Amino acid sequence: MDAEKIKSALADITAEQDPTIKSLKMASLCSALWAEHGVELVVVGGSAIEILTEGAYASGDLDMCHVNKATLPIRERQEIMGLLGAKGGPRNWQVAGMFVDVLGPAESFAHTPYRRVQGPYGEVQVMKAEDLLVERVLVSVYPGKNPAARECARELAVVALVGAVNMNWSEVLRVANLPEYRNVNECKPS
């Protein structure tokens, strides 16, 4: 991506006042730049759920992980994010009026693909809805009751039940049955 395109993208993202669009655009730009260096990024956590549900849940930071086993060396990360005028690092940066965190390798257990949105600067990979649902249900119960996580899980479930986000329910069940989660009962409607 050439410097002019980056400059134009940054101006667009900086001016963007809708938090979900801002996150998606930033994920699109970061994904494109990191991909040029061989690293695939995926949006995770609350930011991913927000892209799938519009649930008014996410805060002003965009959490991403790398799909590849290895991430970039610190120096290269700083150089890439430096192209965006980012401050901070080497795992979280302030850029274009928001925060971007690149947390490490993505944890995914579902056999479905990452969801994909064609963002304005390149494709955005979003954590699998099956993983997100089972994980959010777990967080809603353990280590203690977490009402915000429960509401978030309910939002993802209803959006998926209606089909606005396609969900592989067999995979939800399989993932919830894994030793990593063991929360099938909590995933069932109450």
Partner 1 sequence: MNLKLKVPSIPIEGSISYEDWLKGRRYRRELSKLVAPGVIRRKSSSSDRRLKKLFNGERGLPFTPTEKL
18 is a contact residue toward partner 1 (CB under 8 A) = yes
112 is a contact residue toward partner 1 (CB under 8 A) = yes
Q: Are residues 123 and 117 in contact, defined by beta-carbon separation less than 8 angstroms?
A: yes
Residues ≥6 apart with Cβ < 8 Å to 91:
101, 102, 103, 104
Residues numbered 116-145 forming contacts with partner 1, rule: CB under 8 A:
116-120, 123, 129
Written as six digits, the tokens of 83 are 């192209």
Q: Which of 82, 73, 91, 78 is nearest to 3 (CA)?
A: 82
Window of 34-42, 77-85, 97-105, 172-180 that interacts with partner 1 by CB under 8 A? 97-105
Question: Looking at beta carbons only, is 157 or 176 nearer to partner 1?
Answer: 157
Q: Closest approach of Cβ 75 to partner 1, in Å?
A: 24
Q: How many CB atoms lie within 10 A of CB 144?
A: 7
Question: Exactly one of 1, 6, 12, 20 binds partner 1 (CB under 8 A); which one?
Answer: 20
77 is a contact residue toward partner 1 (CB under 8 A) = no
